[in-house]
Amino acid sequence: MIIILLGAPGAGKGTQAKRLAGELGYIHLSTGDLLRQAVASNTELGKTAHSYMKSGKLVPDEVILAVVSEFIADNPNVGVIFDGFPRTHNQAEGLKSILQTSPPKVVSLDVADEDVIKRLSSRRVCQDCGKLFNMISGPLPTGDKCDTCGGKVYQREDDRSETIAERLKVYHQQTAPVKEYYAKLNCLWSIDGSGDADEVYARLIRAIN
Ligand code: AMP
């Protein structure tokens, strides 16, 4: 079983995917998290991905599809929630060939651009456990420390204002067409991603049931 969460950067895909994966016993696969780990470990994948990521551009499709294909091969017969993948029409086609099953359930979290900008510029993340914080809406870190694991809380380099505009542009140009792709396959549910995380989660559960 595959669930895909679509939406602009900062739409809340990570928060919702983590919670849903925990409740369904699925694996949460965030291609962004996977790439950030590769960058931090300075692997070949990380070296390739870093320049794209820091400028807000997409990592090439063939690189991402190779990573996802390997992940699916290593984790057969498990439920997966994709967060941040597919991000282009080619990736959606690539996923179809990798899975060779009926279309996945796809939920788009729709959030207005001005809210995305606010959310991303105030977002912080724990470098050890990945917990998300928000300097406006909370939860707030304690100083620069994570209240869950004590790790250092930092601002992602691509959450700085110069890069946010580019990421939004890339989203509208390259990722919004993925919605059309799944709409044509009748497997897309669009939900309002604004407001409180619990309310969005309730909408998400209604959409996938
Ligand atoms: P995210 O954490 O999902 O916002 O991803 C952070 C960055 O990682 C993106 O801005 C891209 O540079 C890269 N990235 C993550 N997922 C993908 C993907 N499916 N295709 C291409 N690039 C990706």
**Does residue 116 line the site of ligand 1, with CB under 6 A?**
no
DSSP state string for 175-196: IHHHHHHHHHTT-EEEEE--S-
Residues 6+ positions from 122 with CB-CB distance below 8 Å: 134, 135, 136, 137
Instruction: Convert the pLDDT of each residue in 89-147 to its tens digit.
Output: 999 999 999 998 888 999 999 999 999 999 999 999 999 998 999 999 899 999 999 99
Q: What is the dihedral of CA 84, 90, 95, 100, to 10 degrees?
A: 160
Mean pLDDT of the chain: 95
Q: Tell me which long-range contacts 46-55 makes (C-beta under 8 A, separation of at least 24).
A: 53/157, 53/158, 54/157, 54/158, 54/163, 55/163, 55/166
Ligand 1 atom nearest to 85, measured from its CA: 19
**Does residue 32 line the site of ligand 1, with CB under 6 A?**
yes
Residues with a catalytic annotation lie at 13, 87, 123, 156, 167
- Separation in Å, CA 156 to CA 71, 90, 119: 25, 27, 13
Ligand 1: residue of 87, 88, 171 to mutate (most ligand atoms within 8 A of CB) is: 87
Instruction: Convert the pLDDT of each residue in 173-195 to its tens digit.
Output: 999 999 999 999 999 999 999 99
Instruction: Convert the pLDDT of each residue in 39-74 to its tens digit.
Output: 999 999 999 999 999 999 999 999 999 999 999 999
**Does residue 58 line the site of ligand 1, with CB under 6 A?**
yes
Q: Are 81 and 20 in contact (CB under 8 A)?
A: yes
Q: Distance from the CA of 111 to the center of ligand 1, in angstroms?
A: 18
